[in-house]
C-alpha cells in the first residue's frame, strides 16, 4: 500500500473514496463534446501513495495522456487514456488512470 509508515487515525478516509472525486474527469468529456451514452469504461487502476484524512482539501488534475483512433471502419471509435492525480498541499497522494472507449466517434 505504500503508506504503512503513517500512523493510522480514526479520522482516516477509505482509499477508494478517491473515486468520488473524479468529477473533473467528466469535464474532459464535456469539453470534447462527447456524449456520455457513447462511452464504455474499459480499464481502471488506482495507485494510493498517502492516507487521506477527514478535512483534507484535495485538488485533482486530470489529463488525457493517450488517444488512439480507428476511423476507417464501419464502426469508427476513439480510445482515451485519462490519468488523474490527486494532491494535498501539492503532495501527490493518489493517481488513477483509465481507458475510455468512445463508440461511433464520427457520428
Q: In this structure, are residues 76 and 104 in contact, taking their beta carbons and an 8 Å threshold?
A: yes
**Cβ contact 87:93 at 8 Å:** yes
Q: Is 80 exposed, middle or buried (0-12, 13-18, 19+ CB in 10 A)?
A: buried
| Residue 61 included in any domain | yes
Note the pLDDT of residue 43: 92
Give the rounded distance of the alpha carbon of 92 from its chain centre: 14
pLDDT computed for residue 9 by the predictor: 54
Cα separation values, 27 from 22, 24, 89, Å: 9, 5, 23
The pLDDT value recorded for residue 107 is 47
Say if 56 falls within a structural domain: yes
Q: Is residue 82 part of a domain?
A: yes
Q: Residue 62 has which C-alpha cell?
A: 486530470
Q: Residue 77's domain spans which residues?
A: 12-103
pLDDT truncated to tens, each residue of the chain (107 aa)?
455 545 555 789 999 999 888 888 888 888 888 888 989 888 999 999 999 999 999 999 999 999 998 887 777 888 999 999 999 999 999 999 999 999 875 54
User: Is the residue at 3 inside a domain?
Assistant: no
In a domain, 6, yes or no: no
| This prediction's pTM | 0.79
Q: How many domains does the chain divide into?
A: 1
- Please tell me the predicted confidence (pLDDT) of residue 50: 95
Query: Any idea what the CATH number is for the domain that residue 99 is in?
Result: 3.10.129.10
Amino acid at each position: 500500500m505504500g503508506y504503512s509508515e503513517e500512523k493510522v487515525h480514526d479520522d482516516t478516509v477509505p482509499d477508494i473514496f478517491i473515486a468520488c472525486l473524479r468529477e473533473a474527469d467528466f469535464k474532459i468529456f464535456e469539453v470534447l463534446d462527447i456524449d456520455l451514452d457513447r462511452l464504455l469504461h474499459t480499464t481502471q487502476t488506482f495507485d494510493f501513495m498517502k492516507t487521506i484524512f477527514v478535512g483534507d482539501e484535495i485538488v485533482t488534475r486530470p489529463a488525457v495522456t493517450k488517444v488512439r483512433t480507428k476511423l476507417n471502419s464501419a464502426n469508427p471509435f476513439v480510445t482515451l487514456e485519462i490519468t488523474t492525480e490527486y494532491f494535498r498541499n501539492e503532495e501527490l497522494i493518489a493517481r488513477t488512470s483509465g481507458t475510455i472507449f468512445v463508440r461511433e466517434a464520427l457520428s
